[in-house]
A and B are shown apart, each in its own frame.
Chain A
Amino acid sequence: MNRERLEALTDEALRKLAALEGLDVPDDVERILLIDAILEVLEEKQEEQELQNNNLMQVSQKKYDLTLLDIESTSEENIETMLPLSYHETKIQFLLRDPYWAYVYWDVKGGSLSALKRELEAENIVLRVLRYRGLPKGEQYSSAEVVDSFDIDLGCKDYSWYVNLPVQDTYYSVALVFTSKQQEFIVSQSDVQYVPPVYSFEELLSSPDLKQNSLYLLMELEKLDILYTKPTKPDRLGLSDEALQSL
């Protein structure tokens, strides 16, 4: 979107775009000022997005740059809603995003958590996060290996969640569980996945072998662009404050 493209839009379209970009526009604002304000917001958004990336990613994105801003408005259509919300199958998938967060999505037969909740006469739906002790490669995990777990309450309209993983260098899976006072129904459980360790500079430089420490110093570890501290909130659009607080 650039100035010429904005100038070609009707007043109504400009106001709609401004609202989508979160601008509070007075009724009597001049058209040119409105365009300036929209451009400013779009440019700021672009800069913010660039800052979210490391040097390497900032440079990589240049090969897709044809203009400084998206030629087409990103707000014109919500493409992701054109795909089905449910495939009517019971499934849960665990995608490791980094050593501290996993993205989990799920689906149930019939497509509705509330319908399944009624059918099972359950009172609550939870996402159970299970931590396991490690097993030799090739052996299958069972509940006997679970060393810890915690539950996240789900609403009937939830279909995905970012899950905080409190421990690293361990194994996790997630399960979709319907609970009532009398019993629990585990409707789906993901594969068990290994969550890698994260080491600080100090840990990397703490070998009893001093020669190795000298060698590691030459790698300029301070340039490692690694997620070292747990983020205070997951990067998920549309997650409510209550949901964030519960994490």
Chain B
Amino acid sequence: MHKGFLILALHAHLPYVRHLEYEDFFEEHWLFEAIAETYLPLLRVFNRLEQDGIPWKLTMSISPTLITMLEDGELQRRYIRYTERLLDLLGKEEERTKGNPEYKPILSMYRDLHEANLKEFTTLYDQHILKGIEYYCKRGRIELILTSATHAYLPLYSSYPETVYAQLITALETVQGVFGKTPKGFWLPEMGYYPGVESFLKEIGITYFFTATHGILFMKDRPKYGIFAPVECPNGLYAFGRDMAASHSVWSATEGYPGDFVYRDFYRDIGLDLPLDYIAPYLPDGHSRCFTGLKYYAITGKEGEKQLYNPVAASKKVVEHAENFIYTRTNVLHKLDTLMDIPPVFVCPFDAELFGHWWFEGPQWIEALFRTLSQQDELESIHPSQYLKDYSAVQKGQPVYSSWGNQGYSEVWLDGGTDWLYRHTHKAIERMVDLTDRYPDEKGLKARALNQAAREVLLSQASDWPFIIHAGTTVTYAKRRVLEHLQNFTRIYDALCSGVVSTEWLTKLEKKNIVFPKIDYRIFRRQKRTR
């Protein structure tokens, strides 16, 4: 019988959110929560697996905006402050709930989590948690892959080869700068694929990428092995199609594992539940309620009162769910035995922040998954590049336009609430390309202005902004960010056109939007348009 392989791919991404002009800023908490609940707990999982000699292979992309934020000294200091405040709030909570011993295990769990986070962040990683990722890359456990610089949803920029190239090359330079290596794989933001993007990927040394399931299944030459084997594109790159059935058991809030009643409820947070005057000192602006990260209840069910969260029961369930995942994949593997001539591969790509932030027990599930895998020999975790090395191409074809968004295409990023922005982001690209034509070899102040213009153009393209507007969460902030970057760009454009650049204003802007410090505006040089 053939062995089967599992590619577990995690994509860590947050948009560039750095607002030092405010003492404390709501949206920066996206980063702090992700560090506290996802990134550090995942590193702890990796450390435990390593200590226990458990074999594991993980594929991981970390977006360049997130890399920049994780390496930013000011944000690192703010994360420490965030954790110290949380520990302070925990102290208050321990006092408040003294008469209710049933809260003790939950509060102890949070204290252990955040104390360990603080210790490891400051001591073990010296505030640079990417060192942990780098360590496991070097040990061959993590295969680091690339994604675009500001997470632009590329199908909506397919008419602008300059920006696709600028997104990719900036990403590559950021990753090379921090990790000193050139990734072989690529995570298309939101799995947004359009035919032709692979030519840019090839140009920067990429050999494979991931696509949505139907990006492979809807090809003209229907692939013999579907998504159970990669597809070789006409230009020689490989596309790995997402195994939707495997992913579904993890993604679905209703039918998937994270919806189990014993797991921690995401929504019930003391930041929303407790009296405002009590919680106010721990809110970013001192008066607007938001999540604190302290959530005491289990999902329980839709009806009736929520039960208190039981960490021990949740940990047991995690193991059951990891075993179930492997059991169902192994069942498929058995059925595939007579249908395939090569070992099948199950491709499971996920947003990293699903694990820990939303599905609190997610990192434990990953740990249990690798531990369970190590106890059997039918299914094994593998890196995509290893699979490609071991098994030659068996299916060829041209993947089709697709994404993993709602209904499979672009409606999440292009709808009645967001369509207005493309007219402006497209225009900014055209103007940036014109500037590069006009100033091919600038130095000094003009080069600084051009570099900042390039940053602003890229920042305006983040897929997060239309996503947030579509989702209706922090809509005003997302719209303001698009506006801010476009206005900053236009001001630089106008200044360069009139020949007067305000050094003071530019310096201020450079300090504010300091992402990709080594950017060279010439990445926007005009590209030949082909079809």
- Chain A residues with CB under 8 Å of chain B are 2, 4-5, 45-46, 49-50, 52-68, 70-74, 76-77, 79-80, 82-84, 87, 93, 95-99, 103, 105, 107, 137-138, 140, 160, 191-192, 194, 196-199, 204, 207, 209, 211-212, 214-216, 218-221, 223-227, 235-239
Contact = CB atoms under 8 A, between A and B. Distances in A.
Given A4-B289, A76-B476, A97-B411, 16 more contacts: A2-B289, A4-B287, A49-B471, A54-B405, A64-B474, A71-B290, A93-B426, A96-B410, A97-B410, A98-B408, A160-B423, A207-B222, A214-B335, A215-B224, A218-B339, A237-B416
Contact of B214 (A55, A218, A226): A226
A107 B404 contact: no
Nearest to A137: B531
Contacts of B276: 4
B340 interface: yes
A198 B14 CA distance: 32
Contacts of A199: 217-218
A70 B474 contact: yes
Interface in B127-162: 155-156, 159
27 contacts: A2-B288, A4-B287, A4-B288, A49-B470, A53-B471, A57-B406, A63-B357, A67-B289, A67-B291, A79-B480, A80-B420, A96-B401, A99-B401, A105-B419, A105-B423, A192-B531, A212-B224, A215-B224, A215-B339, A218-B335, A219-B244, A220-B245, A224-B217, A235-B411, A235-B415, A235-B416, A237-B417
B480 A57 contact: no
Contacts of B468: 61, 64
Q: Which residue, of B338, B402, B420, B422, has the highest number of chain A Cβ atoms within 10 A?
A: B420
Interface residues of B, number: 95
Contacts of A67: 271-272, 288-291
Contact of B159 (A5, A80, A93, A223): A93
Contact of B245 (A215, A223, A237): A223
Contact of B406 (A54, A62, A80, A83): A54
Interface string B318-354: 0000000000000010011011100000000001011
B251 A56 contact: yes
Given A56-B404, A64-B30, A80 B474 contact: no
B282 interface: no
A138 B213 CA distance: 28
Contact of A99 (B252, B291, B409): B409
Given A70-B472, A226-B214, A83 B486 contact: yes
Interface string B449-487: 000000000000000100110111111110110110010
A61 B406 CA distance: 12
Nearest to A141: B531
Contacts of A235: 411, 415-416
Contacts of A223: 244-245, 248
A198 to B, nearest CB: 7
A59 B414 CA distance: 19
A74 B468 CA distance: 12
B146 to A, nearest CB: 20
Contact of B483 (A4, A79, A96, A105): A79
